[in-house]
C-alpha cells in the first residue's frame, strides 16, 4: 500500500511538471513580448505580435475588476488543484494540470503587474497569450470529458 501511494505521488508530481512547463513558457513569452517597441507583423494584416496590457478578463470584460479577477483565479486554481489531487483518472489529471498552468500564468500577471500581458494578435480577435490558449483548450477537453462520462 505504501509503495502504491509513492507511485501515485510520483505520477502526480510528473503531471505537475506540465503545469510548471506551461507556466514557464507563458511567462517567458510574455516577458519577451513586453520588450517589443511596436507590433511586429509575422503575416501582414493576419498575425502580429502586439504587446497589450489587459486590465480585464477575456474579450475585455470586467475591466478594472482586479480583486474580483484575482479571487476568481484563486478559486478556479483551488478547485482544479483539489480535483487534480482527488482523481485517479489520467486524462482528467492531465487536463487539470494543463488548466492549472494557464490559470497560474495569468494570475501571476494580475498579482505582479496588475494586468495580464497579452501579445498574440490575429487582428480579427482580441489579443491573447499562451495561458489563454491552454485555459481554452483545457476547458474544451473538460467539457468533452464530462460529456463522455455521462
Q: Tell me the catalytic residues.
A: 118, 132
* 8 Å CB contact between 112 and 66: no
Residue 118, Ramachandran bin (φ over 0: left; ψ between -120 and 50: alpha; else beta): beta
Q: Which cell numbers in the block locate residue 40? A: 511586429
Transcribe 17-31 into DSSP letters.
HHHHHHHHHHHHHHH
Q: What are phi and psi of 44, to 5 degrees?
A: -50, 130
Amino acid at each position: 500500500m505504501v509503495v502504491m501511494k509513492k507511485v501515485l505521488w510520483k505520477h502526480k508530481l510528473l503531471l505537475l511538471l506540465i503545469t510548471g512547463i506551461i507556466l514557464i513558457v507563458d511567462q517567458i513569452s510574455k516577458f519577451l513580448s513586453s520588450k517589443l517597441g511596436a507590433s511586429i507583423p509575422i503575416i501582414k494584416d493576419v498575425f502580429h505580435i502586439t504587446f497589450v496590457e489587459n486590465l480585464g478578463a477575456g474579450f475585455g470584460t470586467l475591466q478594472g475588476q482586479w480583486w474580483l479577477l484575482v479571487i476568481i483565479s484563486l478559486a478556479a486554481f483551488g478547485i482544479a488543484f483539489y480535483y487534480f489531487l482527488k482523481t485517479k483518472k489520467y486524462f482528467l489529471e492531465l487536463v487539470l494540470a494543463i488548466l492549472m498552468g494557464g490559470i497560474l500564468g495569468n494570475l501571476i500577471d494580475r498579482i505582479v503587474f496588475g494586468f495580464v500581458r497579452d501579445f498574440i494578435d490575429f487582428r480579427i480577435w482580441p489579443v491573447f497569450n499562451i495561458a489563454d490558449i491552454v485555459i481554452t483548450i483545457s476547458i474544451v477537453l473538460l467539457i468533452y470529458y464530462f460529456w463522455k462520462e455521462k
